[in-house]
Each structure stands twice: as C-alpha cells, then as structure tokens.
Amino acid sequence: MKNIKNIIFVSLLTLICSGCNQYFISTTPENTYYGAYNRRDFTHADVKLFKKNSELVCDGSIYLNAPSRSITFKNDRVDAKMKLGCNDGKILDIVWQLRKGSFKDGFGEGVDQFNNIYKFKTVPKSTYKDITGDNRKITFPNDHNKSYLKY
C-alpha cells in the first residue's frame, strides 16, 4: 500500500514538473540577447529575455498560430508571435517559426518599436549555457500584473 502511494506521489510530481524551458539566443545581434520560454497551454508560452552584461530584462508571451492537437503535419513549422516588454521601455515584436506539435526547434525574426532588427534561434540547454555563461534559473511567475508588457 505504501509503495502504491509513493508511485502515485512520484508520478504526480513528474506530471507537475514536466513543463520544460526552451532556451534561445539571438543571432542578430550575435549572442547578445538570450532567454527562454515555457509552454503554458496548447497555444501560449511565457517568455523571458535578457541582454548580456546588462540589467535589461524583458518578458511577455509567445503564442502558436495553429491548434497543436491536429493529428497530421505535427512536424510542420507554423507562425508563432512573441511580444515582449522591457524594463527600458522597449517593446519587441518577433515572429517565430516553430514546430506545431512540440512548440520547439525554430527561428524567429522581428523588430522593436525603433525598427531595430532582431533574429533568434532555439538552442539546447547545454549550448545555451556554454554561450551565455548564465546559470541563473529562469522562472515564470503566474502574476501577469507584474509583467513589463502592460497591454
């Protein structure tokens, strides 16, 4: 009986902790910006972005422009739109191409409100750590009132 309880507890814990961060870095400007997103439901993920050697922090959301539950074409890349607000007043509007089924493995391109161009690509966690040298744990608070992006 005790074993069954333990198994149920471990399975529930695995289910709760199964949301993994997908890491990404900027290719233009080269490796200057880096961050991660965490999928929240079938269409949305929360995002955080940092700038190397800077206090700049951005957050916001990314959403997939297609239902990911379709049986066919799960590996196709579809549009996903990322909007971020930063603590210096900047807003980024990036369009990603992500795999429909996994919400991962893609690349994105977009601009801020001054028309500066940004390009991003997803990377594995190990590559992300090597490039950024940043070991901080990226967490996503549930309270969106504290987000930099107000609307």
Partner 1 sequence: MNLKKLLINILLVSYIAGNCTFATESVMKGVDGSVRPVKIKTDSDTKKEKTYKHKTVLKHFSPYVLSVTNNNSKPIILSSASELHFLLDNGEDITSLSRRDIYRKTRKRDIGRYYGIAIPGCIIGGAITGITLFIGAPIGAAVAVGMYVPTDKAVRNNVKIAQDLNVHKDLPIRFEPKNTYEIRILAPNDLNIKAVKITNASFDMKKMYNMTFPVVSEEKL
Instruction: Give the shortest CB-38-to-partner 1 separation in angstroms.
Output: 14
Instruction: Give the shortest CB-95-to-partner 1 separation in angstroms.
Output: 10
Nearer to partner 1, 46 or 122 (CB): 46
User: Which two three-digit tokens encode residue 26?
Assistant: 């900027």
Q: CA-to-CA distance for 78 and 68, rounded, in angstroms?
A: 10
User: Which two three-digit tokens encode residue 120?
Assistant: 């991003």
CA torsion sign for 65, 79, 33, 124 is positive
Residues that bind partner 1 (CB under 8 A): 41-44, 58, 60-61, 63, 65-69, 81, 83, 85-87, 89-91, 93, 111-115, 144-145, 147-151
Nearer to partner 1, 16 or 114 (CB): 114
Instruction: Give the shortest CB-126-to-partner 1 separation in angstroms.
Output: 30
Q: Give the burial class of 25: count Cβ atoms within 10 A of its Cβ; 0-12 exposed, 13-18 middle, 19 or more buried.
A: buried
Nearer to partner 1, 2 or 69 (CB): 69
CA torsion sign for 130, 128, 116, 99 is positive
Instruction: Give the shortest CB-131-to-partner 1 separation in angstroms.
Output: 26
Instruction: Give the shortest CB-45-to-partner 1 separation in angstroms.
Output: 11
Nearer to partner 1, 81 or 104 (CB): 81
Nearer to partner 1, 41 or 126 (CB): 41
- The answer to whether residues 113 and 90 touch, using CB atoms and an 8 Å cutoff, is yes
Hey, which residues does 108 pair with through a beta bridge? Answer: 96, 120
